[in-house]
Amino acid sequence: MLSAMRQHELTVCPACGELGRPNTLDHYLPKRLYPQFCVTPANLFPMCDACQLAKGEKVGDARTPRFFIHPYFDAFVAEQVLRLEIHAPFDAPTFTLGLVEGLGPSKARLVRSHMRELEIEKRYAGFFRNQHRRLLRLVDAMRVAGQDVQQTLTTFKHGATEPSLNTWEHVFYAAAIDNPDLIDYLTNAQLPQYL
């Protein structure tokens, strides 16, 4: 059974949305604390090393009974749950990662604790900075080729929906497309020389 579970075809960590094949199986309920569930298939799921290290043996506390989203049972994560905001100045932006609207109080509380305990915002920060620099270089090339910037970025966003709406790339491109000031900057403004 464990061998079969390790033969998954995932290309994204189901816990954080980072692209790459998760190379370990994590115990949702830690095996030291809950040995009776250590080989229960529903208690094991693929996870990246960074998430597993941050998760450790944490499960919850009196205030927050569950720290983590369960990728099998919390079906609401099939929809986008994280929302990025990209703030001007767009040649050196800042980023705010939060939740999409409409999750409801209990789901929002679970997603917030999941983000906090897996240190997702800190891990996203470097990716978003690098992705924004890459975006500026791509937009420069689009302009040279006479491509429609908004239409091309919309295609990038749609391409990033697989394997999940919560991949880091999809969250980034959704934020770019949903920001009319950024689209105006990318379409019309003088791009920085450091590209």
Band of the pLDDT at 5, cuts 50, 70, 90? low
Which position has the token pair 């697989």? 162
CA–CA dist 76, 97 (Å, integer): 19
CA–CA dist 44, 174 (Å, integer): 31
CA–CA dist 91, 136 (Å, integer): 8
Q: Please state the pTM of the whole predicted model.
A: 0.91
Q: Is 47 left (phi over 0), alpha (psi -120 to 50) or beta?
A: beta
With CA atoms as reference, report the closest residue to 192 among 93, 84, 85, 86.
93
pLDDT surpasses 90 at 63: no
pLDDT of amino acid 194: 73
* Residues ≥6 apart with Cβ < 8 Å to 86: 93, 94, 95, 128, 132, 175, 176, 179, 182
Contact 123, 147 (CB under 8 A): no
Q: What is the mean pLDDT of residues 49-75?
A: 93
Contact 184, 94 (CB under 8 A): no
Paired with 19 in beta bridges are 12
Per-residue pLDDT reduced to its tens digit, 90-134: 999 999 999 999 999 999 999 999 999 999 999 999 999 999 999
CA–CA dist 149, 177 (Å, integer): 10
pLDDT surpasses 80 at 8: no
